Structure 1
């Protein structure tokens, strides 16, 4: 009898230890930082104040702007700085990386220690061509894991995903701001920063009627959540919870069922899916 009791106690102890280790691992994998993902367009002082409050900047903290998405990086930085310097006394620094700078340890350490990192608009592919598979990518992730806020607008929103929409169509050579149909194997995606998982983000969403593009993304990644962010509007991401900020709306589509692909011009049908529209202050969960 005593042997049985000792055996049961040993099993319970092992199970308790296993549960503790699993919980500790899950907690270790959860980043301490937040994301502030803007759908492009004008950024009101109120929206930027929400970003600053989220970042919890202390006296000695500083802000880093990464303008590599932009074709005019200095102008992009200047515009951002002119707005924020009226809202915060904290230093605002530009780090306009190119391929010759990505291994600079001093710069990367400074990037990693920034309390707020802001990624400008422009061309998301241009940004990732500089950052992908470099210490800059690692520094951004470490900053996020350690408690920094990572923010971005337009192209800077697209790069947040692991599967990043480039904006190009595989079946059409001419670029268009939106898609005029929903076809499979048409959406071009590439590797993004992967700061937010199991999510596809599209920006300027209502303004540029990008429903077809987001639905095309859901056909290619049916297990993901498609999120369309309108201009002057942002997602505040705290681990698995998203809150809406700003002036317009966010469209969320997920769980497509009955996807059928036709050989005729790559057309596709979806029997059903879930769709929701959120406005400022509302929240929802992601996987």
Structure 2
């Protein structure tokens, strides 16, 4: 399955914002909550509270997918306790651990009716083995695009948000050709590649290595206990205690096509933006009136706010 998805991936084309202070009221545009992993579950739980709020509050129908985890029962028990403590009244584990489960009519019904869907951490390849081009994945898209549901993922659950997914890759001091392997994710994000545990695991070089392969896409590195919140077509917000690193390679010059595998990459003209927690950026009707911030930032954030098409 992974090999087939890589073949398909090779054929796919990668398909003035005004900063204001933090919390916005939920709407039904549809939200993505993309978490860098290790989110706080014991103290303020800011990110999980925001997910619950964006899903519709304490009475929202929240569904959990633990297929990425090597210990799905343990993962579910942890989140079940946290959300019960937050006052959530309708949390349910989706029985989705295998490829066959992703075609189960009950699984499809649960996901299609959800107000919020949360994908836990683990291994993104394990998760996509279950979900790739499945009826369950299409039900998630219907919930997001047609109902305005909130889709969240932490760690591996964050990696699968993009259509072009960073499947695996080691961390080295400098970017190298073919340091990472790409695969196909769920496609809620159309114009970016997501990496998680970003600052804590020093993953800038591997994200840059991925962008050398796909310079048409943005690179998004999300720190632990930090979430990138995207309100579809409307705004970008960073929640938690870290930052989001946004790398724009679209005007880059690279030696990728001239060197051999594992040789060092030259990458000239990259744009890098650091978005700290506590900032929100609203997509405006025009970029021309923005005098305070770099146009390159607003263009990149505009692309990031344009989510992928519904897959059905």
Normalised to the residue count of structure 1, the TM-score between the two structures is 0.82
Deviates more, 1:216-225 or 1:260-269: 260-269
2:205 counterpart SS class: helix
Q: Does 1:259 align with 2:275?
A: no
Shift of 1:103: 1.8
Corresponding position of 2:143: 143
Counterpart selection for 1:226 from 207, 219, 223: 219
- Show structure 1 runs of 5+ residues with no match: 1-30, 169-175
Counterpart selection for 1:286 from 302, 306, 309: 302
CA contact 2:46–2:239 (8 Å) conserved in 1 = no
Q: How many aligned positions are there?
A: 248
Corresponding position of 1:189: 182
CA contact 2:39–2:226 (8 Å) conserved in 1 = no
Find the aligned partners of 2:164 and 2:172 in 1 and give their Cα distance: 18
Shift of 1:106: 2.5
User: What's the Cα RMSD here?
Assistant: 1.7
Corresponding position of 1:158: 159
CA-to-aligned-CA distance 1:224-260 (integer Å, 9 cap, x gap): 1111000000011112432100011111110342212
Shift of 1:58: 6.5
Corresponding position of 1:277: 274
CA-to-aligned-CA distance 1:202-232 (integer Å, 9 cap, x gap): 0000000001011111111112111100000
Find the aligned partners of 1:128 and 1:148 in 2 and give their Cα distance: 20
Map of 1:37-48 to 2, 5 A cutoff? Answer: 37-44=34-41, 45-48=45-48
Q: Does 1:249 align with 2:237?
A: no
Corresponding position of 1:33: 30
Deviates more, 1:198-207 or 1:265-274: 265-274
Find the aligned partners of 2:154 and 2:58 in 1 and give their Cα distance: 24
CA contact 1:57–1:115 (8 Å) conserved in 2 = no
2:85 counterpart SS class: coil
Corresponding position of 1:28: none
Find the aligned partners of 2:259 and 2:242 in 1 and give their Cα distance: 38
Find the aligned partners of 1:186 and 1:66 in 2 and give their Cα distance: 29
Structure 1 segments (4+ residues) deviating >6 Å: none
Find the aligned partners of 1:201 and 1:40 in 2 and give their Cα distance: 12
CA-to-aligned-CA distance 1:118-177 (integer Å, 9 cap, x gap): 000000000000111210110111111121000010000000000111123xxxxxxx4x
